[in-house]
Chain A
Amino acid sequence: MALVLSGQGEKASPILKLGRKYSAYLAYPLLLASIVWLLLLPFQTFTRNGYFSENAMMPNQVYTVFGTEEHMSAMNHIDAELALQSTAKDEGERQAGAVYRAFNSLGLDSEIQRFAYSEVPGVGSTSGINVHGVLRAGRSDSVEALLIAASWTTSSNRTNINAVRLMAGLAKYASEQVYWAKDIIFLVTDGGEHGIETWLKSYHGGGGLYVRSGIIQAAVCLELPPAQSYAGMGLFFEGKSGQLPNLDLVNIVQYISRVERIPAYLHGMVDAPRSSTWLEKYKRSAQLLLRQVSSLAIGKSVGVHAPFLRYRIDALTLSGIVRPTDPVSLEYLSTGVAPVMPAPFTVRAIGRTVESTLRSLNNLLEHFHQSFFFYILPANERYISIGDYIPAAGLMVASLLFQAMHLWWMQGSDDMRSDNPATRIERINAYYAFLRRTLPNTIGIIARVHLLGVILLVTPIAVPYAVLTNTTSTAYVFTMALASVSMVLHISDTYWMESVQRMVDWKQLKAVVELYVAVVVGCLSVMNFSLAVALFGVTGLPLVLTRVWTSATKMRRIANVCMLLLASPVCTLVLSRAALGLSPLDFTSSPFRMFLGDFYHFGSLAYPLVCLVYWPVNLLCMIVALMP
């Protein structure tokens, strides 16, 4: 209370007086500085060269041997097994059976796991099937393991048969070697991320899995769509809730793949050539950073590595890049059948990359811990560490806090802030009366709006049929939007009626909401910087810019509300379809449903943040704009 009071009276300390004087002007420069900071990140000057932190890894210090006739023949064996007449009732069983037999014949301890999951909680059931084989490290004690995984379909919805073939080849190679200090697990799923998640849950004590090994230290996921050859590989590493694999893993894979002449580019993006202008380089870096930030904020990436990160297993996906003119790929796209092409030309190089990576990981003595777990990567083999990007979030939070401080001091009528010592007691009394009158209303408004958020959050979980399909979930979101608009109009209308004594003060409301957003963004920024920036972009930024005028006119209010509608969850959810590569009016995939599914299955934060922060704060901004 001392701070509050001294703000109102003559007892203020010099620092507080200074703060009071300048806080009004500080919010905007800080906001600008944070945006400039973000815009500076893609410049090469502000990034650092990647390096290996962990001594034990020794990447690329071995001769690679993958690609012998035996390995190729093991790859062919998968096709032979798939071609066998089978009594299996569906495609999944047939494929799983083929892989199971192929793994067994290579001497792996194999097991088939059947499971069912519902994409959205409580709605329907999809069945899936996992097969895994464990190659035992004969001279070690099965306390640690490495994992190679593939899903039967790639993220671009093509068959991933080439990756399964390669895994068989790698299993053959690995079984010939004596130098494994860790078991190697080969895992094939037909349920994508859900399949991996189910498998991991069972593996880590969930039950239902009998062929087991030790602690999994790292996982490499493969995606090789049908092609005659690959132009390179895309490297994807983003997990849910901002989780990332240790930077060492990303670095060694990039380094090894470059030496094996099948470079793994981050997100499949080749760097701008060295000779290009700074603008081109900047644009390329910015594009790569944007992809990472959106991937991390939404929690969607290419490949099936994301569930591993939740179990503290460092993982990434290597995805073969197919040239648009590739004849095999074109044939597959037109006929829907992958031509039998057991060993695409470049698969040997990919196999050797995985081999060399496995040997490097085999050298690990303890869990990855030396290098960064928080980073963004502006170009191949370069990085921006958390220390270099987090100040942007700090500036954002500071901008919110300074404006909140200023608004708090400026709330109520002007005569409460006079410097006249004679009226001190009256002023303090008036101030207390003001707070006692307005604060409960402010808290009440915030609570009511958040109640709506809670309803938004809980309904789909309590009544799953609300989001049965993408169409119903879209309808649900729009219904909630209508309810929200009427709530905004109702609340802001309520306080127009009384006139003698103000029961609310928009400055107070805005200050409290700003504090709230500052805390959320600040805390989130150290966990998931990308999500924090995105959240600030849709809540904090409009909030700072809400009701910046001194006197409200009708036109200003309308303009403000229009801006807020543009930044509203419904609007951004529709626009984010475009980010997901869908038409804004295509309702076959609803981001809301996706967030919900990720929250339910992977504990992703996007869904609760949309329901409990983004949605309510947007409404509160509108209320601030429309209040008397």
Chain B
Amino acid sequence: MKLASLASCAANFVFVLTLLAVASGASSNEEKVTQFFEGSETHTNNWAVLVCTSRFWFNYRHMANALSMYRTVKRMGIPDSHIILMLADDMACNPRNAFPAAVYDHPRKTIDLYGDNVEVDYRGYEVTVENFIRLLTGRVAADTPRNKRLLTDDKSNVFIYMTGHGGEDFLKFQDSEEINSYDIADAFKQMWEKQRYREILFMIDTCQANTMYSKFDSPNILSIGSSKKGQNSLSHFHDYDLGVSVIDRFTYYNLEFFESVDSSSKQTMADLIAAYNTSLIQSDPGVRTDLFARDLAKTYLMDFFGAVQNVKLTTEAFPIGKSK
């Protein structure tokens, strides 16, 4: 059963097929395979859900936030098939954009976030509270294409990043509806019940962001918010060519930290959190660890921001095919 669910993990697909062939052979091999996956302490696949909930030209920075995060997790190895990118509006093609087809998160404009190979899974008015919750809980319509499904299992580490306009216990979607902290807590609970994750890193950049994770009550969730209750989450650079602010402070300083991180990095979550400078971010980022079982100093960034290639070196030869 659990082996079958592994088929969803495209990265390990071929490997799994081989193992399945082996596992059908002998019971001792089956045990070994089971041990390989279930006995393992670590997760076997990584997913990222990146959500920008705001539309309109003057919210350019929220699109840039999500796209910057997208670029980062992709650089660190999570493939597009494992990234669900939700963008409530299209800034690259907005006629007001003085740099058509490009989105920048810095007035220097060295990195075009929209340059090439961007796969937006939910766009425009598809970004709704309903679609977001359906995505998380897996209750999507049967004809939903694969790129719009979160095909996680109990071995998945999921990074969920949200940005937009929010307030105490809510985040505005589009210009018409909002998701509240209870909705997200409930969705995570369902995910846990359905064994849809192993660990979640929930990161949110919005005003009063820390209230958004206050209602979580499912295990193995690490939450990071940009600002405490009553605080605004502020924008960073203003671009006078575009006429808009291009990124938010909290996201910007996260990204700045990630610039020194690559997929082989052994940096931990504790390092990231220690790097938060409230005088630069101009708000008080919050971290909620009580639901998270592991020590942050032993939790690698790559557990969430990178993709695992679950390779296990064995000291003895692994028997393949008919044993003697």
Q: Which residues of A contact B (CB under 8 A)?
A: 55-56, 58, 61-63, 137, 139-140, 177-181, 359, 362-363, 365
Contacts and interface: CB of A to CB of B under 8 A. Distances in A.
B243 A58 contact: yes
B95 A179 contact: yes
A361 to B, nearest CB: 11
A62 B243 contact: yes
A362 B56 contact: no
B42 interface: no
A139 B91 CA distance: 13
B96 A363 contact: yes
A55 B56 CA distance: 10
Given A56-B56, A56-B57, A62 B241 contact: yes
Given A179-B97, A363-B58, 8 more contacts: A56-B56, A56-B58, A58-B243, A58-B244, A63-B241, A137-B95, A177-B98, A178-B98
Nearest to A362: B96
Nearest to B238: A61
B244 to A, nearest CB: 7
B115 interface: no
Given A61-B244, A180-B95, A139 B100 contact: yes
Contacts of B58: 55-56, 58, 363
* Interface-central residue, B94, B95, B100, B241, by most chain A CB under 10 Å: B95
B240 interface: yes
Contact of B243 (A139, A140, A180, A363): A363
A137 B56 CA distance: 18
A62 B97 contact: no
> Which 6 interchain pairs have the tightest Cβ spacing?
A139-B95, A62-B243, A181-B95, A140-B95, A179-B98, A63-B240
Interface residues of B, number: 16
A4 to B, nearest CB: 54
B97 A61 contact: no
A140 B238 CA distance: 24
B240 A363 contact: no
B56 A365 contact: yes
A359 B243 CA distance: 9
Interface of B: 56-58, 93-98, 100, 238, 240-244
Contacts of B241: 62-63
B96 to A, nearest CB: 5
Contacts of B93: 139
Contacts of B244: 58, 61
Contacts of B242: 62
A362 B58 CA distance: 12
Contacts of A137: 95
Contacts of B240: 61-63
Contacts of A180: 95-96
12 contacts: A56-B57, A58-B58, A61-B240, A62-B240, A62-B242, A137-B95, A139-B95, A140-B95, A177-B98, A178-B100, A359-B243, A363-B57
Nearest to A182: B95
B133 to A, nearest CB: 27
Nearest to B175: A365
Contacts of B238: 61
Nearest to A59: B243
* Interface-central residue, B94, B238, B243, by most chain A CB under 10 Å: B243
Nearest to B165: A55
Nearest to A359: B243
Question: Binding site of A, secondary structure by majority: helix, strand, loop or mixed?
Answer: loop
B61 to A, nearest CB: 12
Contacts of A177: 98
Contacts of A55: 58
B174 to A, nearest CB: 13
A181 B242 CA distance: 13
B94 to A, nearest CB: 7
Nearest to B93: A139
B243 A61 contact: yes
A135 to B, nearest CB: 13
A181 B96 contact: yes
A137 B96 CA distance: 10
Nearest to A141: B95
* Interface-central residue, B58, B93, B242, by most chain A CB under 10 Å: B58
A143 B198 CA distance: 50
Contacts of A61: 238, 240, 243-244
Contacts of A181: 57, 94-96
A87 to B, nearest CB: 42
A555 B244 CA distance: 73
A178 B100 CA distance: 8
A24 B100 CA distance: 72
A177 B95 CA distance: 11
Nearest to B245: A61
A161 to B, nearest CB: 32
A479 B98 CA distance: 65
Nearest to B98: A179
A258 B56 CA distance: 28
A179 B94 CA distance: 9
A63 B107 CA distance: 13
A321 B201 CA distance: 61
A362 B240 CA distance: 15
Contacts of A365: 56-57
* Interface-central residue, B58, B96, B100, B240, by most chain A CB under 10 Å: B96
A55 B57 CA distance: 10
A213 B242 CA distance: 25
A259 to B, nearest CB: 12
A460 B273 CA distance: 82
A417 to B, nearest CB: 63
B90 to A, nearest CB: 12
B248 to A, nearest CB: 16
Nearest to B240: A63
A595 to B, nearest CB: 44
A341 B241 CA distance: 32
Contacts of B100: 139, 178
A473 B53 CA distance: 64
A63 B238 CA distance: 11
B87 to A, nearest CB: 17
A362 B242 CA distance: 12
B247 to A, nearest CB: 15
Nearest to A61: B243
A182 to B, nearest CB: 8
Contacts of A62: 240-243
A359 B96 CA distance: 9
Contacts of A179: 95-98
A283 to B, nearest CB: 40
Contacts of B96: 179-181, 362-363
A177 B242 CA distance: 12
Nearest to A179: B98
B195 to A, nearest CB: 43
A55 B55 CA distance: 13
A56 B59 CA distance: 9
Contacts of B97: 179
A34 B7 CA distance: 81
Contacts of A363: 57-58, 96, 243
Contacts of A63: 240-241
Contacts of B57: 56, 181, 363, 365
Contacts of B94: 181
A488 to B, nearest CB: 62
Contacts of A362: 96
Contacts of A359: 243
B283 to A, nearest CB: 20
B146 to A, nearest CB: 32
A306 B298 CA distance: 70
B56 to A, nearest CB: 6
A209 B243 CA distance: 35
Nearest to B94: A181
A319 B98 CA distance: 30
A62 B242 CA distance: 7
Contacts of A178: 98, 100
A409 B56 CA distance: 62
A61 B100 CA distance: 19
